[in-house]
Structure 1
Amino acid sequence: MSALAAWLTTATPASRAQARAGRFYRGTLALLANPLAAAGLVLVAVLLLVALFAPVLAPYAPDAQDLARRLQPPSFAHPFGTDQLGRDILSRVIWGSRITLVIVALAAITVAPIGLAIGIVAGYRGGWVDRVLMRVTDVFMAFPRLVLALALVAALGPGIENAIIAIAATAWPPFARLARAETLTLRRQDFIAAARLQGASHGRILLRHILPLTISTVLARLTLDLAGMILIAAGLGFLGLGAQPPSPEWGAMVATGREFLTDQWWVATMPGAAIFLVSLAFNLIGDGLRDVLDPRSQGR
């Protein structure tokens, strides 16, 4: 029996929790030591604060119209300018951060569990279970994600709820593949054999031994994929299939501003810049997590 197997079979729950807390602390310090990851964390923290305090930060109501001030360039009164209905673009971008976070958060907490469950079950059980689950995964991966999301939203109807369902239904296959690959490696380890010898059930092995060791890798992939989810949500909004007017959704704002892109560039540029910054932030965090969780990237 290896040292890891011996520790897993003899350690108390308190010692395991203490070890996990220590790993989390060291991983957090390593992540903050990465300048790009730290910058991504700062951007995401700013986004969360903006979304949380939107009623205080927004100088105007997001749907307040003033046709006398339509299509005004950025100024002191309207730092991001106004749109074709005289609405303050800064206020709409601030309130739109809430919609973006809701879409991404709900899609993420749906995608990761689905992908993890399918991946670890397929990798652990093998045989016909693995073949069936992976063939289903291959079917979903055969279609471009945005095309499949468009088809699902077109079938379900436009709206933010259906957009979340479409994003979740199209984003889980890579997580299932990744979790399966990790499980195929873990199930051959000595500590899994030791757990079986002690009479642990398949469910206990999956939940107590394999799942905790696959979460970190899936979490890094999830952080990277959040940027793609944001772009898909913005794409659905751009095509009129996401949040419906007058909701200040960033993709829909870019769609309305494309008519004025030549002369009134700020109408589409400001929400487009918000999409870019948020996507960049999650990509930076994902890269930092990958560096922290992959020993090979640290020169070891």
Structure 2
Amino acid sequence: MASTRDWLLADSPTTRLQAFAGRFYRLTLGLLSNPLTVVGLIIITVLIVTALAADWIAPYSAIRQDLSNRLMAPGWDHLMGTDALGRDIFSRVVYGSQITLTIVGLVAVIAAPLGLVIGAVSGYFGGWVDRVLMGITDIFLSMPKLILALAFVAALGPGINNAIIAIAVTTWPAYARIARAETLTFRNSEFISAVQLQGASPLRIIVMHILPLCTSSMIIRVTLDMAGIILTAAGLGFLGLGAQPPLPEWGAMIATGRDFILNQWWVATMPGLAIVVVSLGFCFLGDGLRDVLDPKQGEKH
């Protein structure tokens, strides 16, 4: 926290840039010193590259059917086999990475800033503002995420856009709680008091000073939550409430392959492995970020 505060209070843009560069360099060295974190970085990098270059990586169309080649076992022509409609599973997994990355990215962009702002406002003002905002937060936290997401999707209707909204709505409360706890630790600190004496408005204090100080904890939590977001999205897809056919969403692919799990195991196993590997990648990366950005918290685990 001290390094972040020093960066905020730096006298000039050049000093701030130097402080940021030094911190980024230390963060990179810390991440690369952990083997599991390196594995996580590799997995996430492969996911991003696969999603961006899906048109060049996938050998077949993700939606084109070929009934003459249905339920073929993995081989040279079809690395992961084919499904009940003759579609190449490897190509569908590759294109499915785009959907997974889109869901993860949009949920993080929507839920994290929303929770961050609500938690910071609640912690800074306290009183009735804190009671109202945290009361709403506790209502969301009292219900299981998947059940709540199912309720929202059932109300909004099936589809990938509604699934993203539903997952984001169920994810932000945890971020609000973290931001509130962080805000309470330095709300009455000397540097905040100094900014207040200079006549800064509450809006400026929250945006320019409190929110940046909560960023490290938020990055850690968001990265660790990515695995849960992927599993929730896959669960919605498995139940037919996420991405709709013929989109190659991994959860929906597992649902279509469950009827062949005993004889044609690859139809459901391959997208399932993709979910497991990507989830582990985010978990490894999140653990590494926690150890580097918050060493004391990392020691507790």
TM-score by length of 2: 0.95
Give me the whole-angstrom Cα distance separating, in 2, the residues matched to 1:10 and 1:110: 30
Is the Cα–Cα contact under 8 Å of residues 99 and 249 in structure 2 kept in the other structure? yes
User: Residue 126 of structure 2 corresponds to which residue in structure 1?
Assistant: 126
User: Residue 150 of structure 1 corresponds to which residue in structure 2?
Assistant: 150
Is the Cα–Cα contact under 8 Å of residues 257 and 267 in structure 2 kept in the other structure? yes
* 1:12 correspondence with 2:12: yes
What are the Cα deviations for residues 191-217 of structure 1, in whole angstroms up to 9, with x where unaligned? 111111122111111111111110011
Is the Cα–Cα contact under 8 Å of residues 5 and 194 in structure 1 kept in the other structure? no
User: Residue 78 of structure 2 corresponds to which residue in structure 1?
Assistant: 78
Secondary structure of 2:196's counterpart equals helix
User: Residue 54 of structure 1 corresponds to which residue in structure 2?
Assistant: 54
Is the Cα–Cα contact under 8 Å of residues 230 and 279 in structure 1 kept in the other structure? yes
- One-letter code of the match for 1:193? S
* 1:277 correspondence with 2:277: yes
CA apart distance, 1:228? 0.4
CA apart distance, 1:4? 9.7
CA RMSD across the alignment: 1.8
Is the Cα–Cα contact under 8 Å of residues 4 and 191 in structure 1 kept in the other structure? no
User: Residue 140 of structure 1 corresponds to which residue in structure 2?
Assistant: 140
Structure 1: give runs of 5+ residues left out of the alignment.
Answer: none
Give me the whole-angstrom Cα distance separating, in 1, the residues matched to 2:198 and 2:27: 32
Is the Cα–Cα contact under 8 Å of residues 238 and 255 in structure 1 kept in the other structure? yes
- One-letter code of the match for 2:80? F
CA apart distance, 1:298? 6.1
Secondary structure of 2:143's counterpart equals coil
User: Residue 98 of structure 2 corresponds to which residue in structure 1?
Assistant: 98
CA apart distance, 1:64? 1.6
Give me the whole-angstrom Cα distance separating, in 2, the residues matched to 1:275 and 1:9: 43
Q: Matches of residues 152-167 of structure 1 in structure 2 within 5 Å?
A: 152-167=152-167
- One-letter code of the match for 1:44? I
CA apart distance, 1:77? 0.4
Secondary structure of 1:172's counterpart equals helix
User: Residue 174 of structure 1 corresponds to which residue in structure 2?
Assistant: 174
Displaced runs of 4 or more, over 3 A: 2-10
Q: Matches of residues 257-276 of structure 1 in structure 2 within 5 Å?
A: 257-276=257-276
Q: Sort the Cα spacing of 1:189 and 1:83 in 2 relative to 1 into closer, same or farther, 3 A.
A: same
Is the Cα–Cα contact under 8 Å of residues 122 and 130 in structure 1 kept in the other structure? yes
CA apart distance, 1:231? 0.4
- One-letter code of the match for 1:142? S
Give me the whole-angstrom Cα distance separating, in 1, the residues matched to 2:261 and 2:295: 46
Give me the whole-angstrom Cα distance separating, in 2, the residues matched to 1:12 and 1:265: 61
Structure 2: give runs of 5+ residues left out of the alignment.
Answer: none
Give me the whole-angstrom Cα distance separating, in 2, the residues matched to 1:238 and 1:200: 50
- One-letter code of the match for 2:218? V
Give me the whole-angstrom Cα distance separating, in 2, the residues matched to 1:131 and 1:238: 38
TM-score by length of 1: 0.95
* 1:217 correspondence with 2:217: yes
CA apart distance, 1:295? 2.6
Give me the whole-angstrom Cα distance separating, in 2, the residues matched to 1:132 and 1:180: 13
What are the Cα deviations for residues 58-113 of structure 1, in whole angstroms up to 9, with x where unaligned? 11111121111111110110110010011110010001100111111111100111
User: Residue 249 of structure 2 corresponds to which residue in structure 1?
Assistant: 249
Is the Cα–Cα contact under 8 Å of residues 292 and 298 in structure 1 kept in the other structure? no
Secondary structure of 1:111's counterpart equals helix
- One-letter code of the match for 1:182? E
- One-letter code of the match for 2:119? G
User: Residue 238 of structure 2 corresponds to which residue in structure 1?
Assistant: 238
Give me the whole-angstrom Cα distance separating, in 2, the residues matched to 1:247 and 1:48: 19
Q: Sort the Cα spacing of 1:132 and 1:60 in 2 relative to 1 into closer, same or farther, 3 A.
A: same
Q: Sort the Cα spacing of 1:194 and 1:49 in 2 relative to 1 into closer, same or farther, 3 A.
A: same
What are the Cα deviations for residues 100-131 of structure 1, in whole angstroms up to 9, with x where unaligned? 11111111100111000000000000000000
Give me the whole-angstrom Cα distance separating, in 2, the residues matched to 1:153 and 1:209: 37
CA apart distance, 1:18? 2.0
Give me the whole-angstrom Cα distance separating, in 1, the residues matched to 2:115 and 2:3: 30
Give me the whole-angstrom Cα distance separating, in 1, the residues matched to 2:295 and 2:239: 42
What are the Cα deviations for residues 37-64 of structure 1, in whole angstroms up to 9, with x where unaligned? 1110100100111111111111111112
User: Residue 66 of structure 2 corresponds to which residue in structure 1?
Assistant: 66
CA apart distance, 1:162? 0.2
- Identity %, equivalent residues: 62
